[in-house]
Amino acid sequence: MDIYLPIAELSVDVIVLLGLGAVVGVLSGIFGVGGGFLLTPLLIFIGIPPAVAVASSANQLVGASVSGVIAHWRRGNVDFHMGAVLLVGGFLGSAFGVWLFAILRRVGQVELVVTVSYVVLLGILGSIMLVESTRAIIRQRRPGGARRKLHQHMWIHGLPLKMRFRRSKLYISAIVPVGLGFLVGILSAIMGVGGGFIMVPAMIYMLDMPTAVVPGTSLLQIIFVAANVTVLQAVGNGTVDAILALILLVGGVIGAQLGTRFGARLRGEQLRALLALLVLAVAVKLARDLGVRPIDLYSVVMAGSA
């Protein structure tokens, strides 16, 4: 059954969209990540213009993060203070990112920048995860390995403007979370991702936050950053397809339920290794497409659009 997407201006099979949403939902259920980093490239694969894919993914992300935060909040695993500080940087970053996006659109390089960003980020992320999970699997088989130091002191802890975060049991400079939020805000605007896959490791390894409060706090700030991106994209670029976002959300909800149940039966390290392989596969596919000679070197667009 085809549905006409008003902003993307093309007809797409609803089942395909629901399926996409479900696949991403299953992943986020199993792995606890937003899945935006897979959703945007998948939308581009099925022919949605990159500009619309990015903006609508941000829209979808708002809904997905809201349900995630509510779940974590019920368990008391959200640091609202940290979330607010991250958000200051997030707002600034997303505004900057949308402005950058509009310029790229004008010069016709959105597609390139989005794809290259994905190749680089997914490539790095996938490799790190693969190494980490492989080590964990090996360590499990050979008990008694070295433990990570409880608290590491780095240059980050020497920065001024220190703040106390009670829920996270931290006393660190506000510059670090603001900067982190800014970076993730830019990513959200240019790539249509929540940035959870950057935010979560950064919170654990850079900020030294307790692992339990990380996903909820990360999702909390993603809600607002994604909402900010959605509004800014709608105003600045007119590329948010709300119908597309809602269909993806419906599929995502179903998928997340399946994923959570399935995920409970698998082991953590194996899951992470699996996700790492998946992430790397997407990166390789995108990278190959960049280097493959297009069927037609020329493309036609309406003047002034992506």
Report the residue number, 77 or 133, with the smaller CB distance to another protein: 77
- Both tokens of 39, joined, read 């959703």
Asked whether position 264 contacts another protein by CB under 8 A, the answer is: no
- Both tokens of 279, joined, read 């992430």
DSSP secondary structure code for residue 213 in this structure: G
CB of 51 to another protein, least distance (A): 14
CB of 4 to another protein, least distance (A): 5
Asked whether position 235 contacts another protein by CB under 8 A, the answer is: yes
Report the residue number, 45 or 137, with the smaller CB distance to another protein: 45
Q: How far apart are CA 70 and CA 12, in angstroms?
A: 32
CB of 218 to another protein, least distance (A): 15
Among 71, 92, 163, 280, binds another protein (CB under 8 A): 71
CB count, 10 Å around CB of 32? 21
Q: How far apart are CA 77 and CA 215, in angstroms?
A: 8
Asked whether position 280 contacts another protein by CB under 8 A, the answer is: no
Among 137, 156, 227, 271, binds another protein (CB under 8 A): 227
Helix axes 268-291, 14-31, angle to 10 degrees: 140
The helix (H) or strand (E) run that includes residue 60 is helix 50-74
Q: Provide φ and ψ at 11, rounded to 5°.
A: -95, 135
Q: Counting beta carbons within 10 angstroms of the beta carbon of residue 209, is it exposed (0 to 12), middle (13 to 18) or buried (19 or more)?
A: buried
CB of 138 to another protein, least distance (A): 34
Q: How far apart are CA 67 and CA 16, in angstroms?
A: 23
Report the residue number, 47 or 145, with the smaller CB distance to another protein: 47
Among 100, 250, 274, 278, binds another protein (CB under 8 A): 250
Q: How far apart are CA 38 and CA 34, in angstroms?
A: 9
CB of 131 to another protein, least distance (A): 26
CB of 254 to another protein, least distance (A): 9
Asked whether position 296 contacts another protein by CB under 8 A, the answer is: yes
Residue 31-70 contact track with another protein, rule CB under 8 A, x = bound: ----------------------------xxxxxxxxxx-x
- The CA radius of gyration of the chain, in Å to the nearest whole number, is 19
Asked whether position 234 contacts another protein by CB under 8 A, the answer is: yes
Q: How far apart are CA 191 and CA 82, in angstroms?
A: 24
Q: How far apart are CA 69 and CA 55, in angstroms?
A: 21
Q: Is 79 helix (H, G, I), strand (E, B) or coil?
A: coil
Asked whether position 256 contacts another protein by CB under 8 A, the answer is: yes
Which of 69, 64, 67, 70 minimizes the C-alpha distance to 252?
64
Among 243, 271, 280, 284, binds another protein (CB under 8 A): 243
CB of 121 closer than 8 Å to CB of 199:
no
Footprint of another protein on residues 159-218 (CB under 8 A)? none
Report the residue number, 133 or 230, with the smaller CB distance to another protein: 230
What is the binding site for another protein (CB under 8 A)?
1-7, 9-11, 59-68, 70-71, 74, 108-109, 111-112, 116, 223, 227, 230-235, 238, 240, 242-243, 245-246, 249-250, 252-253, 256-257, 290-294, 296-304
